[in-house]
């Protein structure tokens, strides 16, 4: 209850501050219309924003260690978050600057009117791709390599229980966490990418076929997809994984293959819906009718007439679908039924390291371990979302 | 009104039909298990006689179609079967009271509904309020900050948000418990406190879309002539929104709220596991791990039913609130 009372008091203070601030601004600016017509609610909002900013600055510059020598974890986390955000913004800005002056004309033009979020998103996606492709070269150790040093704390400082050979420490059975994090990019992102491609191949082909041929094929496929979509996707995936785990038995790698197929089929239903809807608009066009009357084959119709005209929405859908697939796989792995050991993946890492979060008060670095793996997942989905947002805005802007 | 009633009945029938087909899908999927249930229950070292007994007890010797209708009939009378874990326990310990799947699920279902209710109570007013504010002050710093914040929160995995909340609200500032210890006969206040962190996590997940839809719906309306009229006659901006824009934007908002509550059904699984919340999602995941088919089947059916029901509600409400849909040509 004291928390609620405290919050109410702060809000009341903000209201008073807003009223006072508006009054002062009115006097100082000679009753400029901007301040004269400002509703109290807006002044209140500005006061809250100012208070939040002041609080943020105050927290940021607090000493990270108390007089008694205990680390202030909250302050440390806040500093890392602010610095991370600043670095991200700077990296996105520099990347956009570089894109504007380097490379071919077309890409330079593309970078010219790109928002900062999109530049950051593209940079992040590229970084992930590089890490995933060259994981074997980047990682200091193998993903399943087991060392004698177990439970090494992160930081690499022997005085605090670290080890310079393992910058992020090792887990309960002595695997290097940095290597597993890097290999996680390869496994988690790679598997999600393969799954999305498979889902697009399945859903796109069937969707185009249903639209181009129509008739009973369209009816059967559409009704089937309707039924499959009536079951929430994560629930359906869990049900099918139960059965797949019985089929796979003790062959763990087989279970991962089954998971790819299961998620691909479930997500293909969503792709089917979009592909069919987009293709439906194309097959009623004159050029399609002309091609059909020319006697072109089905393959020509789909690949030469429908596909090129459906590219933009399908590309945006690919980005969003990848996010969903990626999150589903991460969730399944987190629940313990997704990607199986010895493959390193982020979802499983979060689950295995989750308990470390309770050490935040005395060892902030250790507590970041589960958040690092979970944050790696979050960062990629946010980045893809930024890029897709920009692409959609651009394509809709061109159409207007 | 008979037209409306007809449409609603039509939708209800369609929903029931979907549920029926979904139950077939679930049943067929489960029967695609290798070997048979009897083998799964008893494990590798079972004697052929024991397997035969269980087969007979479970009626596995009958044809598939007959078994399906038997299963369906049992469900309609509230009998969801007996969990394998319980059967196994009974066969090894002998006798004892068998807990049916229905009696296992019932209290957990109530817990999950409580969690969903608390989430909705926080998320819906917050989303509509933020959406109205973002529409009112669109293009300002406030609008952009909420936009980026909600976009980031909706694209993060549920467990990331959950652990960040645990870190700040349970570990660094011990305000709320990080494990939801819910038991029978708990006082409402204590129960709310234990439910708060999972509910906040779910709120963050569903908030973004609801807020964005509210904002988009209101901005759409702000361009219409009657809003211009209201503004010209000197109505304050807040009153323009609450009196003139919001009532007309209600249809899309109600729709997106119902759809997001349907999305909660999926989100609840991961969140319940993180917070060890004794709900149906956790039961489901545990059953998946030990391959307890009757429980998996029942949970799946309940999730699907809730999902279909909420989608149906969204559909019907949007028809009711939109005269153009109420009188189809």
CB atoms within 10 A of CB B48: 7
Residue A151 lies in a domain: no
Cα separation of the two ends of chain B: 15
State which residue of chain B sits closest to A241, comparing Cα positions: B288
Residue B270: HSE in the Cβ half-sphere, 13 Å Cα cutoff: 30
* Preceding peptide of A114 cis, ω within 30°: no
Residue B15 lies in a domain: no
Are residues B30 and A336, on separate chains, in Cβ contact within 8 Å? no
Rounded to the nearest angstrom, the minimum Cα separation between B131 and chain A is 15
Which residue shows structure tokens 């229980």?
Answer: A161
pLDDT for the residue B43: 64
How many helices (H) and strands (E) in chain B?
Answer: 15, 0
Give the tens place of pLDDT for each residue, B66-92. 888 888 888 887 777 777 666 666 665
| Residue A89, in any domain of the structure | no
* Residue carrying structure tokens 């044809």: B63
Q: Is residue B312 part of a domain?
A: no
Token readout for A235 is: 């629930």
Q: Is residue B294 domain-resident?
A: no
Q: For each of chain B's 329 residues, which pLDDT tens digit applies? A: 567 788 888 888 988 898 888 888 888 888 777 666 666 666 666 677 777 777 776 666 677 788 888 888 888 877 777 776 666 666 655 555 566 778 888 888 888 889 988 998 999 999 988 888 888 888 788 888 888 888 888 788 888 999 989 888 888 878 888 887 777 777 888 888 888 899 999 998 888 888 888 888 888 888 889 888 998 998 887 788 888 888 888 877 888 888 888 778 777 888 999 998 888 888 898 888 887 888 888 888 888 888 888 888 888 887 777 777 666 65
Measured distance CA(B102)–CA(B294) in Å, rounded: 10
C-alpha to C-alpha distance for A378 and B159, rounded to whole angstroms? 10
Residue B167, domain member (yes or no): yes
What is the residue whose two structure tokens read 């308990």? A355
Residues on chain B touching A336 (C-beta within 8 angstroms): 285, 289
Contacts of B171 in chain A (CB under 8 A): 357-358, 360-361, 367
- With respect to residue B178, please indicate whether it lies within any of the assigned structural domains: yes
C-alpha B148/C-alpha B157 separation (Å) is 16
The closest alpha carbon to B98, from B110, B90, B106, belongs to: B90
Q: What CATH code is carried by the domain that includes residue A266?
A: 1.10.3720.10
The alpha-carbon gap from A146 to the nearest alpha carbon of chain B, in Å, equals 26
Range of the domain at A47: 3-60
Residues of B in contact with A242 (CB under 8 A): 287-288, 291, 293, 296
Q: What pLDDT is attached to residue A94?
A: 92
- By C-alpha distance, which of A11, A162, A71 is closest to A361? A71
Using CA atoms, how far apart are residues A74 and A60, in angstroms rounded to an integer?
A: 10
Of B18, B137, B163, the CB nearest to A374: B163
Interacting residues of A92 by C-beta distance below 8 A, sequence separation 6+: A116, A117, A119, A120, A123
Spatial separation of the C-alpha atoms in residues B258 and B82, rounded to whole Å: 33
Residue A346 domain flag: yes
A239 to chain B nearest CA, in Å? Answer: 7
Instruction: Give pLDDT, residue A337.
Output: 85
Segment holding B307, helix H or strand E: helix B293-320
Same domain, A219 and A357: yes
Task: Return phi, psi of residue A65, to 5°.
Answer: -125, 135
Rounded-to-integer distance, Cα A396 and Cα A368, Å: 40
Instruction: Give me the CATH number covering residue B152.
Output: 1.10.3720.10
Residue of B nearest to A228 (CA): B22
A367 and A240 within one domain: yes
Give the model's pLDDT for residue A398.
Answer: 47
- CB pair distance less than 8 Å for A357 and B266: no
- Cβ-Cβ contacts under 8 Å between A and B: the total is 163
How many domains in chain A? 2
Total domain count, chain B? 1
Query: Given an 8 Å threshold on Cβ–Cβ distance, is A230 in contact with B164?
Result: no
In this structure, is residue B207 part of a structural domain? yes
Q: Do A389 and B151 touch (CB under 8 A)?
A: yes
Q: Specify the pLDDT at position A400.
A: 35
Out of A11, A39, A60, a domain closes at A60
* Length, in residues, of chain A: 400
Nearest residue of chain A to residue B44 (CA atoms): A249
Q: Which residues of B touch A245 (CB under 8 A)?
A: 291
User: According to the model, what pLDDT value does residue B45 have?
Assistant: 65
Helices (H), chain A: 2-28, 33-36, 40-60, 73-101, 105-112, 116-133, 135-138, 177-184, 190-213, 215-229, 233-248, 252-283, 286-293, 298-300, 307-309, 311-335, 346-353, 364-399
B249: closest CA of chain A, how far (Å): 23
pLDDT digits (tens, 9 = 90+) for B157-184: 888 999 989 888 888 878 888 887 777 7
Domain range for B192 is 106-289
Whether residue B261 lies inside any domain: the answer is yes
CA B216 and chain centroid, separation: 25
- Is A45 within 8 Å of B175 when comparing Cβ atoms? no
- B141-B146-B149-B155 Cα dihedral, nearest 10 degrees: -130
Q: How far is A347 from chain B (nearest CA, A)?
A: 9
Among the partner residues B40, B274, B304, nearest to A230 by beta-carbon distance? B304
What is the mean pLDDT of each successive set of 10 residues along chain A, which is 400 residues long? Answer: 84 91 89 82 87 90 78 83 91 90 82 86 93 86 77 73 76 82 89 94 91 87 88 88 80 86 93 91 88 88 86 86 91 87 85 83 79 89 88 64
For A242, name the nearest residue in chain B, comparing CA atoms only: B288
Same domain, A195 and A56: no
Asked whether residue B278 is assigned to any structural domain, the reply reads yes
Å between B40 CA and nearest CA of chain A: 9
Q: Which pLDDT value is given to residue B155?
A: 81
Is A161 within 8 Å of chain B by CB? Answer: no
Closest chain B residue to the Cα of A358, Cα to Cα: B171
Domain identity same for A349 and A201: yes
């Amino acid at each position: 209850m004291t928390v609620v009372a405290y919050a109410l008091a702060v809000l009341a203070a903000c209201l008073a501050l807003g009223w006072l601030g508006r009054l002062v601004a009115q006097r100082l600016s000679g009753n400029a219309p901007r301040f004269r017509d400002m509703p109290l609610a807006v002044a209140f909002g500005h006061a809250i924003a100012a208070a939040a900013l002041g609080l943020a600055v105050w927290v940021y510059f607090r000493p990270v260690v108390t007089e008694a020598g205990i680390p202030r974890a909250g302050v440390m986390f806040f500093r890392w978050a602010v610095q991370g955000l600043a670095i991200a913004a700077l990296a996105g800005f520099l990347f956009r600057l570089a894109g504007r002056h380097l490379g071919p004309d077309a890409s330079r033009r593309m970078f010219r009117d790109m928002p900062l979020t999109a530049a950051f998103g593209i940079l992040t996606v590229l970084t992930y791709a590089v890490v995933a492709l060259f994981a074997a070269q980047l990682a200091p150790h193998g993903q399943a390599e087991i060392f004698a040093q177990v439970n090494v704390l992160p930081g690499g400082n022997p005085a605090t229980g670290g080890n310079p050979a393992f910058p992020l420490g090792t887990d309960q059975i002595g695997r290097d966490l940095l290597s597993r994090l890097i290999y996680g990019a390869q496994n988690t992102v790679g598997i999600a990418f393969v799954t999305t491609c498979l889902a697009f191949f399945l859903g796109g082909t069937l969707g185009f076929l249903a639209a181009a041929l129509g008739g009973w094929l369209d009816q059967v496929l559409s009704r089937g997809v309707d039924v499959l979509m009536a079951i929430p996707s994560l629930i359906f995936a869990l049900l099918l994984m139960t059965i797949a785990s019985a089929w796979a038995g003790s062959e763990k790698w087989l279970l991962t293959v089954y998971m790819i197929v299961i998620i691909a089929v479930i997500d293909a239903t969503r792709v089917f819906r979009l592909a069919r809807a987009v293709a439906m608009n194309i097959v009623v066009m004159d050029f399609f009718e002309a091609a059909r009357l020319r006697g072109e084959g089905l393959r020509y119709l789909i690949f030469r007439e429908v596909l090129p005209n459906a590219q933009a929405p399908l590309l945006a859908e690919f980005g969003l679908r990848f996010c969903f697939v990626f999150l589903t796989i991460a969730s399944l792995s987190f629940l313990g039924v997704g990607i199986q050991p010895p493959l390193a993946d982020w979802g499983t890492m979060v689950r295995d390291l989750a308990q470390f979060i309770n050490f935040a008060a005395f060892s902030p670095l250790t507590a970041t371990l589960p958040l690092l793996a979970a944050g790696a997942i979050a960062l990629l989905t946010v980045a893809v979302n930024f890029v897709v947002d920009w692409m959609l805005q651009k394509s809709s802007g061109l159409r207007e | 009104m008979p037209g409306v009633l007809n449409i609603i009945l039509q939708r209800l029938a369609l929903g029931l039909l979907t549920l029926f087909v979904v139950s077939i899908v679930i049943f067929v999927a489960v029967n695609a298990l290798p070997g048979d249930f009897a083998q799964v229950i008893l494990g590798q070292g079972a004697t052929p006689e024991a397997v035969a007994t269980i087969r007979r007890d479970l009626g596995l010797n009958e044809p598939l179609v007959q078994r399906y209708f038997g299963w369906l009939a049992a469900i309609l009378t509230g009998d969801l079967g007996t969990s394998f874990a319980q059967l196994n326990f009974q066969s090894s310990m002998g006798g004892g009271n068998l807990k049916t799947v229905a009696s296992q699920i019932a209290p957990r279902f109530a817990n999950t509904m409580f969690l969903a209710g608390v989430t909705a109570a926080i998320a819906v007013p917050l989303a509509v309020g933020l959406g109205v504010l973002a529409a009112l002050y669109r293009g300002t710093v406030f609008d952009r900050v909420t936009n980026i914040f909600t976009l980031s929160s909706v694209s993060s995995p549920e467990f990331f948000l959950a652990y960040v909340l645990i870190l700040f609200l349970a570990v660094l500032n011990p305000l709320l418990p990080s494990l939801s210890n819910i038991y029978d006969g708990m006082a409402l206040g204590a129960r709310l406190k234990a439910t708060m962190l999972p509910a906040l996590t779910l709120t963050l997940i569903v908030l973004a879309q609801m807020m964005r839809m509210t904002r988009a719906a209101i901005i759409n309306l702000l361009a219409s002539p009657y809003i211009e009229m209201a503004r010209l006659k000197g109505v304050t901006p807040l009153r323009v929104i609450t009196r003139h824009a919001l009532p007309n934007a209600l249809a899309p908002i109600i729709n997106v709220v119902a759809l997001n509550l349907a999305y909660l059904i999926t989100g609840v699984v991961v969140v319940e596991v993180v917070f060890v919340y004794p709900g149906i999602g956790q039961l489901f995941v545990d059953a998946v791990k030990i391959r307890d088919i009757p429980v998996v089947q029942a949970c799946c059916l309940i999730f699907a039913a809730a999902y279909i029901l909420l989608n149906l509600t969204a559909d019907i409400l949007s028809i009711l609130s939109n005269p153009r849909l109420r009188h189809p040509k």
